[in-house]
Amino acid sequence: MTFTGGTSMKSYLLAGMSILLLLMASATVSAALFDGPMVGENATTDNASNASNVTTMPTNATENQTVAGNATAAMTVADVLGQQENLTTLAAAVNATNLTEPLSQDGPYTVFAPTDAAFEALGNETVDQLMNETDRLTAVLQYHVVEGNYTSQQLMEMLQNQTMNQTANMTQNQTANMTQEQNVTQNQTANQTANMTMENVTGNQTMENVTAQQQAAVMLQTLLGENLTVSQNQSTGDLMVGNATIVMADINASNGVVHVIDAVLMPPENVTGQANQTGMSIVNVIAEDDNLSTLGTASRNANLTETLDTGGPYTVFAPTNDAFGQLTPEDLSELLNNNEKLATVLQYHVVEGEYTADEIIGMAAGANATNNTTASGSTTLETLLGEDIVVTVSNGDIMVENATVEMANIDASNGVIHTIDTVLIPENVTLQPTGAAEAAQDMTQNQTTANQTETATANQTV
């Protein structure tokens, strides 16, 4: 074959070689670009190494709740409270009580920490009173501390599990109700059965009843012995503790975790315990309480001070001065001046063993004691007298026979004291002064004589 146009052929060859060189250069540049790490590769590695130091809020929590990281993880709970600029009042309160040491060494604890603004909301007068009443202040602070380390994630998971259990129970109840309705319809006419099936046993109704479930709540026992309710605000999704909102979660410490809240939690009035007076015996605790001075005098007169000072552990249901004041002056005088009768009455107020309010509620309500504020039931406790007293719980309130527990969990080195509003009188004790008893006996004898005379006169008349 003969070719023409040699110049054109050379041009084609040169163009082809140029294209080949360009392709080789492009391949070299690409190799250089992709030989190093991919973009973001180092960042991914760094993020993975730091993942353990980042605390995240639960999926269902809102952006309104701030989460602290682990910057304070090497500090104790007490140190964390002292370092937070918005917790200065709480830190001062902790220092004013004997809680600094346990919050520095023991644990783990979960602390729901009220902000300075939360204390300000109580008013200056209330805050000043708290700071000047160490016993009451300690009780309030103990009501903010829970044994165990509960992060916001764990609290949310506990609530979710509670919600699932409620849904399952409601579904079971709805199924049982549907079965009952179906059984009823079998005994009715065909038209009635059709109507009931359409109106009462529809799938929509089942879904509505399951959806309208009660708000889930988790109970946590505080150092005071009383429970706190943890829930989730259905409108905002925020975690709630009682009536307070967690505004900053998961400030980690070496012996627990701190959650900052926007309100001070006040214990129930009828069970506000006093500070732990573990260095004092029952006798000394009673002697130090101005509200129990009559009981203190009675204990000395009945020669029970040694028993209540060195024996135990005991649970004492302690009548207040007002309780003794409910007795008539004659009854009270007779009781305080008859040591044998007085000892019998006082022994009827003492039980061997140490029973806190929560333990009593648990014994009385049994399986129903899942929530101490709504628990109900009764139990008996044997007293030092050898006779039983009946303890009744209704909606969390404790009754001992006909007396109400006013203040629970006053701790002592050899037991616990619960104050009550009525003196308990055993059945075999009669509080009637000697003069009154003789007068009553004379009246009975006179009445008997009068009846006999009337009968004799009637017989003579007949």
Q: Residue 164's pLDDT is what?
A: 62
Q: With pLDDT > 70 as the criterion, what percentage of the chain qualifies?
A: 61
> What is the C-alpha separation between 297 and 422, in angstroms, rounded?
17
Mean pLDDT (the chain) is 74
- Cβ neighbours of residue 105 closer than 8 Å, sequence gap 6 or more: 76, 255
All CATH 2.30.180.10 domain ranges of the chain, comma separated, are 56-176+213-267, 282-420
Neighbours of 291 (CB within 10 A): 15
- For the residues 202-230, what does the mean pLDDT come to? 60
How many residues would you count in the chain? 462
Neighbours of 327 (CB within 10 A): 19
- Cβ neighbours of residue 206 closer than 8 Å, sequence gap 6 or more: 171, 174, 178
Are residues 63 and 238 in contact, defined by beta-carbon separation less than 8 angstroms? no
**Comparison of pLDDT for 145 and 133, the residue scoring more:** 145
Residue type, 168: A
For residue 165, what pLDDT band results from cuts at 50, 70 and 90? low
Token digits for 247?
């505004």
CA angle 110, 111, 112 (to 5 degrees): 125
- DSSP states of 425-450: --TT-----HHHHHHHHHHHHHHHHH
Q: Residue 56's pLDDT is what?
A: 38
> What is the C-alpha separation between 5 and 13, in angstroms, rounded?
13
- Lowest model confidence (mean pLDDT) among 123-137, 290-304, 346-360: 123-137
Q: Which segment, 17-21, 159-163, 311-315, is predicted with the most confidence on average?
A: 311-315
Q: What is the pLDDT of residues 358-394, one digit of tens each?
A: 888 888 876 555 555 567 888 899 999 999 999 999 8
- For the residues 259-269, what does the mean pLDDT come to? 87
CA angle 299, 269, 273 (to 5 degrees): 50
Q: What is the pLDDT of residues 64-114, one digit of tens each?
A: 455 555 566 689 999 999 999 999 999 999 999 878 888 998 889 999 999
Are residues 58 and 153 in contact, defined by beta-carbon separation less than 8 angstroms? yes
CA angle 437, 438, 444 (to 5 degrees): 90
Paired strand residues for 111:
145, 258
Q: Is the pLDDT score of 177 beyond 90?
A: no
CATH class for the domain made up of 282-420 = mainly beta
Look at the alpha carbons of 29, 31, 37, 39 in this order and tell me if their dihedral is positive or negative: positive
Q: Residue 45's pLDDT is what?
A: 36
The torsion region of residue 424 among left (phi > 0), alpha (psi -120 to 50) and beta comes to beta
Residue type, 462: V
Q: Residue 19's pLDDT is what?
A: 65
Are residues 77 and 125 in contact, defined by beta-carbon separation less than 8 angstroms? no
> What is the C-alpha separation between 97 and 78, in angstroms, rounded?
12
Looking at domain 56-176+213-267, does it have CATH number 3.40.718.10?
Answer: no
Q: Residue 454's pLDDT is what?
A: 55
Q: What is the pLDDT of residues 3-20, one digit of tens each?
A: 444 555 556 666 666 666
Can you tell me whether residue 166 is helix, strand or coil? helix
Q: What is the pLDDT of residues 407-424, one digit of tens each?
A: 988 988 888 999 999 999
The torsion region of residue 290 among left (phi > 0), alpha (psi -120 to 50) and beta comes to alpha
Scanning the structure block, which residue is given the tokens 């190093």? 36
**Comparison of pLDDT for 445 and 219, the residue scoring more:** 219
**Comparison of pLDDT for 337 and 203, the residue scoring more:** 337
Q: Residue 187's pLDDT is what?
A: 45
Are residues 130 and 136 in contact, defined by beta-carbon separation less than 8 angstroms? yes
Scanning the structure block, which residue is given the tokens 């017989």? 459
